[in-house]
Chains A and B, each alone.
Chain A
């Protein structure tokens, strides 16, 4: 309990604190109060970035929300054919780093893009690119929330409406929309936060259009101005925390809507609606496939746009300046460590929160800290790790620059969602297993190993999958803390793009995508075989 609590304090609270204090210091480490903040707000260029961030985040969120809602509606409330296909395609963006959409957009609409005429002279480098690219990669995140919200509606409400002869439109506005209101709000905030704090897309496609996330990067990497980086981080943190808080409140309400006796809704075929939905989903799916398809195409082309012959040369990463095959294998190692250690740590943490009977205050504080990482943007976390772990007087200083700090940062960054998954799985178990075990004189670890772990195995697999995928694709959490020995594939994509080696970047991004797709398939097979062998009790 204490050990895991200490893990969270060291990995979340202390780094954030050190960043907060850094933002009040000058380059020599003297306390200068709010001077940095005053500086920030009196520099119009910096202040403008905040406005830009807000603008692209809100615009892209609205687009994503509307698209995800219709798409989710089609998947849950219509009888259109090929639902499994559309579900699958919608999840594709999860397999790739957010950078990939930026790269793909360059090929589509860049200076030599195939379809740049579609922009009527506008440049893709700027808000347009950021909005399209962001919309692409956050789409599945929004969709999953929307689908959940649409699935939990009680069918009897609709039967009642039909019995009262309510029209389709009225039913939609009085039952469907209110029913998933909280889901939509939640999806909106999640989308907003993801885009607001994302760094990959604006870095690749943003051009001269500055946003907060790229500002931090420039302040820290470009100008080595750590104090100003800290200030911008604090400003980035604010709306994220705000959105997070609102989201938590809203989600609590959503749960309250669920009644145990709800009857699940089963859509009935309606030709016209189903056809419209099919067309809409086909367009969205096509856009997604075009996006990743272009990246794949780019990875295989000799020299865009002059030599369109296919080649595998772009996969010869050791020739690139931005990073070699080493970074790819580092990424795999990092993702495996994250999945393995992360699952164990997170599961134990959730077990203690859920099954402990003493230290009620301690457990709820632990739970609250476990919620925090969700609100902390990856860049902010990464930067705070520099401040905290790079400090020679810190006893944990030795992990700085190693693989360990990358693993720790990634586990921390993705802690919250995994923690909630584990808690949910544990909540579904009978509360008295431990009591029964004790009465039968079985030590608690025996009951844990023989009952708790097997029963929670599917959830544990899900968590490790989630951690693996995110560890493979994350850029923001690690971009400040990797070292020359621990370069990563996702960072390599970034650096290759930075160096103009965009074909290499596309190829590396696709390597990540193949790996993630492979991992997902493996996960599906593994889950299936475990379900068959050790989870026979679930069926029947």
Chain B
């Protein structure tokens, strides 16, 4: 499915200028966002950036201070949660401890006057769906964390809601189970075709699961895009820094598509920057290419000294000192094959190339708090 085909003309969920205040504190500021039917969207951002607050506003659990929420063409901004159409799963599972697994899953069904037999059948179906067909008579406490989370998921989708909301559903689980469930949740979502919003602060989770990612920071949206977009073309330096590993080098724009960093001049797309602007150049470690015997006259080729090498299994992370400026270190990921073939060792002097199209340039300087 291409992105365009998926984006049906009217979005399923539409937020417009949603703002949420707690006293003087602004937790969300003018959030506007469209989510399409069947999409899996992740809210990603550092702790305290407002992801949960936004999710709760969508659910109506904590109604926004101003702005509108439209679901399925209907303005639900002021509706209480029980008049909206969604299922929700929390990090803590929030399974009712005194009800059996089957009763937990049936909880929502029993509120809608469905015949007992049909309820039982639907519960069996759902337990099958989440891969726990024989656990209906147990109490939540008798299940493992991962199993509990699947039950919470079954409970949330039992009534076939139009929208599934997940607030860090996997972060209470240990790493192995998390990776496994990640896959399962995604599969399930595909199969049911249910529009899903998931909150997470784990970028790997977002990158692997989402159709689109909404990166948030301090109550505003920094970027919305596909995982690939977000990774390849972070539109702000915050996103560039937050997602994956990134090298930042301070520089000055010195002409159209030219940036000077220390003694080197880089060719890169400077879009609307003007000569003399202070800029930051960003490049990912895997985009730095080690060259075998090339002259320095080629575009974006520099001589570097290999300062340190860290063996990380299938690749090596190397610290490269740009010779001209000894204090500027670039991180580069080099495949283990390449390292063997070229017999690279610490202290070597080599040439590297940074492809023009892989370089991002941001206005101003970047403060990293790491």
The reply to whether A454 and B98 contact each other, CB–CB distance below 8 Å, is yes
The residue from A430, A439, A454 contacting B92, defined by CB atoms under 8 A apart: A430
The reply to whether B108 and A441 contact each other, CB–CB distance below 8 Å, is yes
Which of B97, B112, B141 gathers most chain A CB within 10 Å?
A: B97
Return chain A residues, CB-CB under 8 Å to B158: 440
The reply to whether B94 and A442 contact each other, CB–CB distance below 8 Å, is no
Per-residue CB contact flags for chain B residues 54-72 toward chain A (1 = under 8 Å, else 0) read 0010011110000000000
Chain B's closest residue to A534 (CB) is: B98
With the chains together, A441 CA to B87 CA distance in Å?
10
The reply to whether A439 and B98 contact each other, CB–CB distance below 8 Å, is no
The residue from A430, A439, A450, A451 contacting B156, defined by CB atoms under 8 A apart: A439
Classify chain B: how many residues form its interface, as a range. 20 to 34
The reply to whether A439 and B139 contact each other, CB–CB distance below 8 Å, is no
Return chain A residues, CB-CB under 8 Å to B59: 435, 439
The reply to whether A438 and B80 contact each other, CB–CB distance below 8 Å, is yes
Would you list which residues of chain A between 432 and 451 have a CB under 8 Å from chain B?
432-433, 435-443, 446, 450-451
The reply to whether A438 and B111 contact each other, CB–CB distance below 8 Å, is no
Chain A's closest residue to B91 (CB) is: A432
Q: Is A536 interfacial (CB-CB < 8 Å)?
A: yes
The residue from A357, A432, A437, A455 contacting B98, defined by CB atoms under 8 A apart: A455
The reply to whether A450 and B99 contact each other, CB–CB distance below 8 Å, is yes
A537-B94 contact, Cβ under 8 Å, with A442-B107, A442-B111, A450-B99:
no
Q: Is B150 interfacial (CB-CB < 8 Å)?
A: no
Return chain B residues, CB-CB under 8 Å to A484: none
The reply to whether B99 and A451 contact each other, CB–CB distance below 8 Å, is yes
Chain A's closest residue to B90 (CB) is: A432
Majority SS at the chain A contact face: loop
The residue from A435, A455, A534 contacting B81, defined by CB atoms under 8 A apart: A435
With the chains together, A440 CA to B56 CA distance in Å?
15
Chain B's closest residue to A433 (CB) is: B94
With the chains together, A446 CA to B141 CA distance in Å?
22
Return chain B residues, CB-CB under 8 Å to A430: 90, 92-94
With the chains together, A120 CA to B137 CA distance in Å?
71
Would you list which residues of chain A between 126 and 180 have a CB under 8 Å from chain B?
none
Per-residue CB contact flags for chain B residues 263-294 toward chain A (1 = under 8 Å, else 0) read 00000000000000000000000000000000
Chain A's closest residue to B89 (CB) is: A436
With the chains together, A440 CA to B104 CA distance in Å?
11
Chain B's closest residue to A456 (CB) is: B98
Q: Is B201 interfacial (CB-CB < 8 Å)?
A: no
With the chains together, A184 CA to B80 CA distance in Å?
48
Return chain A residues, CB-CB under 8 Å to B107: 437, 440, 442
Q: Is B25 interfacial (CB-CB < 8 Å)?
A: no
The reply to whether A438 and B81 contact each other, CB–CB distance below 8 Å, is yes
Which of A431, A439, A536, A540 gathers most chain B CB within 10 Å?
A: A439
Q: Is B155 interfacial (CB-CB < 8 Å)?
A: yes
A446-B111 contact, Cβ under 8 Å, with A438-B81, A454-B98, A537-B141:
yes
The reply to whether A441 and B90 contact each other, CB–CB distance below 8 Å, is no
Q: Is A515 interfacial (CB-CB < 8 Å)?
A: no
With the chains together, A206 CA to B13 CA distance in Å?
76
The residue from A357, A432, A435, A537 contacting B140, defined by CB atoms under 8 A apart: A537
The reply to whether A455 and B97 contact each other, CB–CB distance below 8 Å, is yes
Instruction: Report the minimal beta-carbon distance from B158 to chain A, rounded to whole angstroms.
Output: 8
Which of A451, A455, A538 gathers most chain B CB within 10 Å?
A: A451
With the chains together, A437 CA to B88 CA distance in Å?
10
A440-B96 contact, Cβ under 8 Å, with A435-B88, A537-B139:
no
Q: Is A535 interfacial (CB-CB < 8 Å)?
A: yes
The reply to whether B155 and A440 contact each other, CB–CB distance below 8 Å, is yes
The reply to whether A436 and B94 contact each other, CB–CB distance below 8 Å, is yes
Return chain B residues, CB-CB under 8 Å to A443: 82
The reply to whether B111 and A440 contact each other, CB–CB distance below 8 Å, is yes
Q: Is B337 interfacial (CB-CB < 8 Å)?
A: no
A441-B99 contact, Cβ under 8 Å, with A357-B62, A432-B90, A536-B139:
no
With the chains together, A451 CA to B81 CA distance in Å?
19
**Complex A-B: 25 CB contacts under 8 Å:** A430-B92, A430-B93, A433-B94, A435-B81, A435-B88, A435-B90, A435-B94, A436-B88, A436-B94, A437-B107, A439-B86, A439-B108, A439-B156, A439-B165, A440-B108, A440-B155, A441-B108, A441-B112, A451-B96, A454-B98, A455-B97, A534-B98, A537-B97, A537-B140, A538-B97
Binding site for A on B (CB under 8 A): 56, 59-62, 80-82, 86-88, 90, 92-94, 96-99, 107-108, 111-112, 139-142, 155-156, 158-159, 161, 165
The list of the 9 closest CB pairs from A to B, nearest first, reads A440-B108, A537-B139, A438-B81, A432-B94, A430-B94, A439-B88, A451-B96, A432-B90, A454-B98
Given contacts A439-B81, A446-B111, A534-B98, 20 further A-B contacts (CB under 8 A): A357-B62, A430-B90, A430-B94, A432-B92, A433-B94, A433-B96, A435-B56, A435-B59, A435-B94, A436-B90, A439-B161, A440-B87, A440-B108, A440-B158, A441-B82, A441-B108, A442-B108, A537-B140, A540-B139, A540-B142
